[in-house]
Amino acid sequence: MVTRKDFDSPESPTWCTGCGNYGILNAVKMALAEQDIAPHQVVIFTGIGCGSKLPHYMKVSGFHTIHGRALAVATGARLANHGLKIMTVHGDGDGYGMGLGHMLHAIRRNIGIVDVVQNNRVYGLTKGQYSPTSDPGMRTPTSPEGAIDRPVPPLALAITAGATFVARGYPGELRHLVWLIGEALQHPGYALVDVLQPCVTFNRPGSYDFYNPRVYKLEEADHDPTDKTAAWELAYEWGERIPIGIFYRAEGVPTYEEQVPALKARPLVKQPLEKLRPEQIEALRAELI
């Protein structure tokens, strides 16, 4: 039986007091434990940002990669060993900015990766620049007159691109977030869990005080997660009411890895690495004569 403690590490996070990442870290640990996944049975790939330091604050297999590329590294890892659970945990700058392209391709592949995005709608580690999900008008070091770009709508984008599991969570609703990540871990293909992450230092308007009165759970609101159109419309709901929960979920869509001929029998790294046999060498030579 795996418990949450199995994931505890003595290393203290460097996050600010009150950072939403503490809740996300707890939720990840609890969700893995509840799914009976041990630290060596999952690999967490992160990018660059405050949140991407998460695996260092856990006892878990991890790979702290480069900005925007967590999904790319994770995809290669999943193809090499689909016997392990593969997760990415990264921020909105990483996942929805630099890495936006990789997200769309991970979605169309329906590759078995749980993608948790710590969406604090600002760049934290680099000291407060606006991000792909910031509101227009936000004044930051790179937008002193107010951000001009309209924000990326990550959930709507994911639904449109064909994602088979699209959800949003909030560390202020910790049990719910644990449940969402658990559902994502059970989902066979690509699963997006966008997380509203308060940033107390660089995005004070987007704090727990902002989200608490606004968030409501789709599970309590009569939403049918197989209804793609409804999900898409809800993805744009923002303001006085902000939905969290599973927006959309599709069953039975084949994953990428289950369609790769070389992976039919077992994971790639479980296949013995041997020299070519004489008859294989003969066949290869014969192609060239």
Contact footprint for another protein (CB under 8 A): 11, 38-41, 43, 45, 48, 53, 55-56, 59-66, 69, 72-81, 83-84, 101-102, 105, 260-263, 268-269, 271, 273-276, 280-281, 284-285, 288-289
CB of 68 to another protein, least distance (A): 8
Contact between residue 79 and residue 268 where contact means Cβ atoms under 8 Å apart: yes
In the complex with another protein, the residue whose CB is nearer, 80 or 230, is 80
CB of 110 to another protein, least distance (A): 14
Amino acid at 163: A
- Interhelix angle 100-109/70-80, rounded to 10 degrees, is 30
CB of 192 to another protein, least distance (A): 18
Contact between residue 112 and residue 86 where contact means Cβ atoms under 8 Å apart: yes
Q: To 10 degrees, the CA torsion angle through 189, 191, 82, 265? A: -10
Contact between residue 193 and residue 92 where contact means Cβ atoms under 8 Å apart: no
Contact between residue 131 and residue 122 where contact means Cβ atoms under 8 Å apart: yes
150: DSSP letter: P
CB of 277 to another protein, least distance (A): 10
In the complex with another protein, the residue whose CB is nearer, 73 or 138, is 73
According to DSSP, the residues that pair with 140 across neighbouring strands are 143
CB of 16 to another protein, least distance (A): 17
In the complex with another protein, the residue whose CB is nearer, 253 or 276, is 276
CB of 112 to another protein, least distance (A): 13
In the complex with another protein, the residue whose CB is nearer, 127 or 241, is 127
Identify the H or E element spanning 88. strand 85-91
The count of C-alpha atoms lying within 13 angstroms of the C-alpha of 133, restricted to the half-sphere facing its C-beta, is 28
- Residues 198 and 153: their CA atoms lie apart, in Å, by 18
CB of 90 to another protein, least distance (A): 13
- Taking alpha carbons only, the member of 114, 94, 146 closest to residue 28 is 114
In the complex with another protein, the residue whose CB is nearer, 80 or 250, is 80
CB of 273 to another protein, least distance (A): 5
In the complex with another protein, the residue whose CB is nearer, 35 or 41, is 41
The string of DSSP letters for 69-108 reads: -HHHHHHHHHHH-TTSEEEEEEEHHIIIIITHHHHHHHHH
- Residues 270 and 134: their CA atoms lie apart, in Å, by 44
From first CA to last CA, the distance across the chain in angstroms is: 59
In the complex with another protein, the residue whose CB is nearer, 62 or 206, is 62
In the complex with another protein, the residue whose CB is nearer, 240 or 274, is 274
